[in-house]
A and B are shown apart, each in its own frame.
Chain A
């Protein structure tokens, strides 16, 4: 059990580094996929709502500390993401969800919720309008992230086939 969480922690750190350093290489018109979102949804679908919420907070907090930008914002939005993703947790259908389009849909739904909350706070007091930010960046990022989710989904499909 501890070993599993240690593995999750290690992967989380690697993904945070990847999100901050390497993901920009995948950017299209300043839109980048949120691979941490995919990871949090995966954890919530594997371990349930409680763990998804806790891991969402931990990953978001470390991400805030690493980027040093608006500390607490990602912690909050990713906590909520883990919590929402946890609603789709089904112990008996975990593999089925992960290897199907459902995984992509869940990432899309959670990504939209995440970005709406994120921009609701982030756009306060700035010249960027909330609706413009959500439409231009929020939906695009969520969509791009869900497209990227195809990769792990296909991987799980091969792994859990049969």
Chain B
């Protein structure tokens, strides 16, 4: 304490000067004149410059807090972007489906894919529409990208669709450009196979394959895929044609069931439709 007092006494002149100047400044601040307004303006400007200069020095705690806020904001924005992206994709898909619905001459029953069985060689999907919605066995299933398959079983509210990528699936198909007919099927793997195409018939890579008028189940001109490769096997009368599917079966979410029951008279006259299981 004595030491402190000694220090105070040693610097008493400076202390009293500082104290009295502070008192004077307080008294000055009590005035309201032009000079003081100018001084206040300078002071504010000076403090602004100091603060601006000091702002270069990072405040660790402030940075940490700001970082947390920005991270949270980033998460929120990412979430919103994802939702918007999802909405955009859904919007695009719905628009395409709407176009399909307008183009199709037959009534369409929309259904969500609520289950998939994509294994082995007998791939099927479960749909959220059944007999009460007008779904019947052998009705074609399509989506905005093309042929999906056909209905093979129904219940009141659900139905099972047999996909084109099913070993038992067969459909009459044709080359859109040259009108050559064949049978589309799948034996596993990446491509469909267009069968019964004679070696002399006009077919090229890139040709679009669609359903033909010969089918008693599928409406004509539904897109199936594009010719990806053509090969000829020696000693065989037919070409081996690989077709790239136009539908991505792994990402199916919504489909349409074409409310087109098979023409019973035609079925009767052409013979029994093979029931594939």
Contact = CB atoms under 8 A, between A and B. Distances in A.
A92 interface: no
Contacts of B35: 70, 121-126
The interface centre, meaning the residue of B17, B21, B38 with most chain A CB atoms within 10 A of its CB, is B17
A79 interface: yes
Interface stretch (B22-30, B89-97, B107-115, B252-260): B22-30
B77 interface: no
A72 B39 contact: no
B192 to A, nearest CB: 89
Contact of B20 (A70, A79, A123): A79
Interface stretch (A9-17, A49-57, A105-113, A151-159): A49-57
A64 B27 contact: yes
B16 interface: yes
Contacts of A49: 13
A125 B27 contact: no
B39 A76 contact: no
A80 interface: yes
B231 interface: no
B251 interface: no
Nearest to A126: B34
Interface string A58-77: 00110010000011110110
Contacts of A76: 20-21, 24-25, 28
A42 interface: no
Contacts of B21: 76, 79-80
Nearest to A61: B27
A124 B31 contact: no
A83 interface: yes
A86 interface: yes
B24 A121 contact: no
B27 A75 contact: yes
The interface centre, meaning the residue of A53, A61, A80, A126 with most chain B CB atoms within 10 A of its CB, is A53
A64 B39 CA distance: 19
Interface in A102-152: 121-126
A73 B34 contact: no
A83 B12 CA distance: 12
B34 A72 contact: no
Given A124-B35, A126-B34, 17 more contacts: A50-B13, A53-B17, A70-B33, A72-B24, A72-B27, A75-B20, A75-B23, A76-B25, A79-B21, A80-B21, A121-B35, A124-B38, A124-B39, A125-B34, A125-B35, A125-B41, A126-B38
8 contacts: A57-B23, A71-B28, A72-B24, A80-B17, A125-B35, A125-B38, A125-B39, A126-B34
User: What 10 pairs across the A-B complex have the smallest Cβ distances?
Assistant: A125-B38, A72-B27, A76-B24, A72-B28, A124-B38, A125-B34, A57-B20, A124-B35, A75-B24, A79-B20
Interface of B: 12-13, 16-17, 20-21, 23-31, 33-39, 41-42
